[in-house]
Structure 1
Amino acid sequence: MKKTIIAAGLVSLLSSTAMAENVGVSMALFDDNFLTVLRNGIQDLADGMDNVDVQIEDAQNDVAKQLDQINNFVASGVDAIIVNPVDTSATEAMTQAATSAGVPLVFVNRQPINVDMLPDNQAFVASNEVDSGTLETIEVCDLLKAAGKDEANIYVMMGELSNQAAVQRTADIHDVMAAGKCAVTLNIIDEQTANWSRDEAQDLMTNWLSTGEAFDAVISNNDEMAIGAIQAMKAGGIDMDVVIVAGIDATQDALQAMQAGDLDVTVFQNAAAQGSGALDAALKLARGEDVERKVYVPFELVTPDNIGDYMSQN
């Protein structure tokens, strides 16, 4: 009888040891180049680990849908949750839902409000947006100066206004100007949102071109909008050699645009590293290990001079 009990106990121990850790992942949107790379970073790390399962769902840019996904993850008993927020102003409700259930939560890429006041079992994994727009803008300034400009007119394309990254990247442009870090004097003709979208950016740029206003550069909060602007300019007969276009993310499409001579500046945001870093943090929190409240993956400036270093990154 004792042998039977011991054997049964050993089987039970082995079973519990081999039990999979389950992590629920709610992505703001599947139909986004950058977020696809991030999502693949989560999945690839999970695929390479024993007994780690991830359930990745598409919130389809719907805040209510995302909150439902989080509540469903909690109800299903996941060990941790990763969220790429649709709307960063709605993250407090997500924090509360996870906290009430005692489930660790990791926000990835998009900074939640009150990030410095997250509970001990929650974290934020991303890149520091103060660096993104700053690197982008200073490089645009240097290129304009190298082109013989002392003063330049620019357009600014913003991401979703509810998104912290868009707010910060736009603020970075103004901060560079205000701090005297720009090699030329920048005059912003207009700045409007194109909601991170290539199509919306193309429409916005077309509208700007219709005014006939002379401009020297377009600074975009992301690559998708920069590409949309490029498409509109090329359709409008603009010589891409005489205008500077900058984006952020260093997506494959952006790097191809740079190789073609259309995109002048981008900033590499390591989406795959953010994804794998988010899963690593979620698993550590689920196991009761310490994790920094903010885990940053550095931004890196990408230009035609060093593009070869990034062609295989995404």
Structure 2
Amino acid sequence: MKQTGLLAAVAAFTMMATAVNADTIGFSSPNFDDNFQTALREAAKSRAEELGHSIQIEDAREDVGMQLSQIQNFIASDVAAIIVAPVSAAATPQITKMAEAADIPLIYVNRRPADLDALGEKAAFVGSDETWSGTLEAFEVCKQAAGTGKAVMLMGILSNEAAVTRSEDVREVLKLSMCNGIELVAEQEAKWQRTEANNVVSNWLSSGLEFDIVFANNDEMALGAVQALKAAGVSMDDVLVAGVDATDDALASLGKNELDVTVFQNAKGQATGSVDAAVKAMNGEALPNWINIPFELVTQDNLKSYMSQ
């Protein structure tokens, strides 16, 4: 009888452990069409499965209402934790309150929440300090341009904290004495998208706007600028193009001397960190409000070290 009882206890423990390991993590991505977000969610899926958890990933399509609905559905499904790359920072206080009310751990990833300083013990942000992304980008461009030129800037969706911060970083760097010969002649939102950026730059070129520097808030827009410039017959030797993220496509473009500067944003590091933080919170561990994953400058000089990341 004792052996039977022991076997039953072991079986019960095994079932309980299996149930815990099988806890589902809900993940709301802002945009499946974005290359960086694709790398982020794929790395998160891989990490969750590596740790024995399932992960349900939804596409918010850059729609705040859709993302809020996804959070509500995750809560109704009683997921063990929620990971969110926010569509809009302005919506994060509402998302935080929803998760807190349901007592579900909440991890923001990649895009900084507006209520970062008010996150509780079961919530955290895993991402990079955006102050450095645009700063590193602009400082290197100033250096390569020897402090002179006419520049344009392609901005992401301006409801995103990253777009606002990266754009302001560029403007602030251009105020430095080493950059005071660079004039920012135009800037426009291109919604993080390659096609949109291609259209914007094509319109600038067709209107006769003269520029030899392109700052882009991300690599997708930088690559769209490269496409437009090449289609217009502009030699890539005559223009500096810079982006942020160090995506595979951007590194390949850098290797072909098209793109000149990018900034490595560690998608795998952010994704892995967000899943690890979610699991810690699921296990009752308190979290810091911010787990920082540093940005790193990428140029021709150190390109090879990033090609396999």
Q: Is the 8 A contact 1:29 1:59 kept in 2?
A: yes
Give deviations 1:231-259, integer Å, cap 9, x for gaps. Answer: 11111111110110000001111111111
Question: Taking structure 1 as the reference length, what is the TM-score of the superposition?
Answer: 0.94
Aligned equivalents of 1:142, 1:114: Cα separation in 2: 36
Letter in 2 for 1:157: L
Letter in 2 for 1:230: V
Aligned equivalents of 2:129, 2:177: Cα separation in 1: 19
Aligned equivalents of 2:185, 2:300: Cα separation in 1: 27
The alignment status of 1:169 with 2:166, answered yes or no, reads yes
Aligned residue number for residue 12 of structure 1: 12
Letter in 2 for 1:255: L
Aligned equivalents of 1:137, 1:245: Cα separation in 2: 11
Aligned residue number for residue 118 of structure 1: 119
Q: Is the 8 A contact 1:138 1:181 kept in 2?
A: no
Q: Is the 8 A contact 1:158 1:221 kept in 2?
A: yes
Offset of 1:71 from its aligned partner?
1.2
Letter in 2 for 1:109: N
Aligned residue number for residue 144 of structure 2: 143
Aligned residue number for residue 215 of structure 2: 219
From 235, 251, 257, the counterpart of 1:255: 251
Aligned equivalents of 1:164, 1:186: Cα separation in 2: 25
Question: Taking structure 2 as the reference length, what is the TM-score of the superposition?
Answer: 0.95
Aligned residue number for residue 202 of structure 2: 206
> How do 1:154-303 and structure 2 match up within 5 A?
154-178=151-175, 180=176, 182-303=178-299
Give deviations 1:34-77, integer Å, cap 9, x for gaps. Answer: 1111011111112222x311111112222222111111111111
From 32, 39, 50, the counterpart of 1:30: 32
Aligned equivalents of 1:182, 1:213: Cα separation in 2: 24
Aligned residue number for residue 99 of structure 1: 100
Aligned equivalents of 1:87, 1:184: Cα separation in 2: 33
Aligned residue number for residue 42 of structure 2: 40
Q: Size of the alignment, in residue pairs? A: 307
- Of 224-233 and 18-27, deviating more is 18-27
Aligned equivalents of 1:205, 1:183: Cα separation in 2: 23
Give deviations 1:256-309, integer Å, cap 9, x for gaps. Answer: 111111100000101111111100001101111122210111111111111111
Aligned equivalents of 1:223, 1:303: Cα separation in 2: 13
Q: Is the 8 A contact 1:144 1:184 kept in 2?
A: no
Give deviations 1:112-148, integer Å, cap 9, x for gaps. Answer: 1121111221000111110100000000000001xxx
Q: Is the 8 A contact 2:29 2:86 kept in 1?
A: yes
Change in CA separation of 1:213 and 1:106 when aligned onto 2, cut-off 3 Å: same
Offset of 1:7 from its aligned partner?
4.3
Q: Is the 8 A contact 2:105 2:281 kept in 1?
A: yes
Q: Is the 8 A contact 2:173 2:179 kept in 1?
A: no
**C-alpha RMSD over aligned residues:** 1.5
Letter in 2 for 1:63: V
Offset of 1:80 from its aligned partner?
0.6
- Of 272-281 and 39-48, deviating more is 39-48
Q: Is the 8 A contact 1:111 1:124 kept in 2?
A: yes
Aligned equivalents of 1:264, 1:10: Cα separation in 2: 60
Letter in 1 for 2:97: Q
